[in-house]
């Protein structure tokens, strides 16, 4: 097995591993160690069946059921993310950390590429630990104890479920009656295994700070969101059929690029059960 970094700050491609077969204990340990170190892992390989993807997901955590999209009948923890030729808006097309609005947000995400456009459709990632480390001591002191109010409907001017129902590729599996979620979490989150501190907020989900109005909160949210996207904190993952990408939602943010209008992009996703941020 070879671990090839994707950038100077986060991301690594794991080579010499076939995810369609059972992994040895040593392979599993090495891959999980790379996950904690690099925060984003990329594997090339053959297309996986949904049960195979679920098995691989268990290397990183416990698979969970996503609340807004119906899972596959045979494997409900696996959801399909599809942008058709008719869709102009894509799923996940703003910088965010998955399910930050839930009381126990997702630990990580395992995304498997089934169909990809001829060009485009990549995903960008940002290292929130590096972004936090680069802040001044004064800013770090100000953020200590600050909590963000994260809302699943923050971007949608109403219901997230209703907005997704308008997407051609997602409508058939959309759970229209899914409830919205609002949760408070620390703006500076400590990783439970590595002890690293990272920013934990985004324009997509953080509506305001606890005890403050949206107008009062917005300037600092905007500054921190922009700061975290400095090029030196990011990497870009190319999509190709059969590829699997795994990322740690506790210390990263990501953006699914919407640069392939008129083409299809079909992914299968597993969300990993997380814990309450601290």
Q: Has residue 92 been placed in a domain?
A: yes
Report pLDDT for 153: 82
The per-residue pLDDT for 126 is 98
Confidence of residue 89 (pLDDT cuts 50, 70, 90): confident
| Confidence check: pLDDT of 95 > 90 | yes
Examine the residue annotation and report whether 254 is marked as an active-site residue of this protein: yes
Of 12, 51, 70, 59, give the one whose Cα is nearest residue 32: 59
Those residues with Cβ within 8 angstroms of residue 69's Cβ, 6 or more apart along the chain or in another chain: 79, 80, 81, 164, 170, 173, 174, 175
Each residue's pLDDT tens digit, 132-181: 999 999 999 999 999 999 998 876 555 555 555 556 555 556 655 567 89
pLDDT band at 239 (very low <50, low <70, confident <90, very high): confident
Catalytic residue among 112, 205, 254, 268: 254
Is 238 in the active site? no
d(CA 82, CA 169): 5
Catalytic residue at 96?
yes
pLDDT (mean) for 203-216? 96
Q: Is residue 278 part of a domain?
A: no
Secondary structure E strands in the chain: 2-5, 12-15, 40-43, 63-64, 78-83, 108-115, 123-127, 147-151, 182-186, 188-190, 197-199, 206-209, 234-237, 244-248, 252-256, 265-272
| CATH number (domain holding residue 194) | 3.60.130.10
Q: How far apart are CA 191 and CA 193, in angstroms?
A: 6
What pLDDT, on the 0 to 100 scale, is given for residue 18?
95
- pLDDT of the residue at 188: 98
What is the pLDDT at residue 166? Answer: 57
Does residue 147 sit within a domain? yes
Catalytic pick among 38, 64, 87, 98? 98
Instruction: Pick 10 or 88 by higher pLDDT.
Output: 10
List 64, 87, 96, 112, catalytic entry: 96
Whether residue 229 is contained in a domain is answered as: yes
**Confidence band, pLDDT 50/70/90 cuts, at residue 269:** very high
- Count of structural domains, the chain: 1
- Whether 211 maps to a domain, the answer reads yes
Report the sign of the C-alpha dihedral through residues 207, 209, 215, 218, in that order: negative
pLDDT tens digits along 28-59: 999 999 999 999 999 998 999 999 999 999 99
Domain span at 100:
2-272
């Amino acid at each position: 097995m070879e671990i090839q970094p994707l950038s100077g700050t986060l991301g690594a491609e794991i080579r010499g591993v076939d995810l369609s077969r059972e992994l040895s204990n040593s392979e599993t340990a090495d891959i999980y160690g790379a996950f904690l170190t690099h925060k984003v892992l990329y594997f090339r390989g053959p297309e996986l069946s949904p049960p195979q993807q679920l098995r691989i997901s268990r290397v990183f955590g416990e698979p969970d059921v996503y609340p807004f999209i119906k899972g596959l009948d045979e494997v409900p923890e696996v959801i399909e993310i599809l942008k058709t030729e008719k869709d102009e808006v894509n799923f996940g097309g703003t910088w965010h950390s998955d399910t930050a609005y839930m009381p126990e947000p997702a630990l990580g995400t395992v995304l498997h590429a089934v169909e990809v456009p001829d060009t485009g459709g990549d995903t960008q990632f940002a290292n929130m630990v590096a972004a936090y480390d680069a802040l001044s001591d004064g800013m770090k002191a100000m953020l200590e104890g600050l909590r963000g109010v994260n809302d699943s409907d923050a971007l949608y001017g109403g219901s997230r479920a209703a907005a997704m129902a308008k997407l051609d590729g997602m409508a058939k599996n959309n759970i229209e009656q899914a409830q919205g979620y609002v949760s408070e979490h620390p703006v500076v989150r400590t990783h439970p295994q590595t002890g690293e501190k990272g920013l934990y907020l985004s324009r997509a989900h953080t509506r305001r700070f606890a005890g403050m109005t949206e107008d009062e909160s917005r300037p600092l949210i905007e500054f921190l969101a922009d700061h975290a996207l400095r090029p030196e904190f990011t990497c870009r993952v190319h999509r190709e059929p059969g590829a699997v990408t795994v990322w740690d939602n506790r210390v990263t943010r990501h953006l699914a690029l919407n640069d392939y209008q008129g083409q299809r992009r079909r992914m299968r996703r597993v969300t990993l059960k997380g814990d309450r941020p601290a």
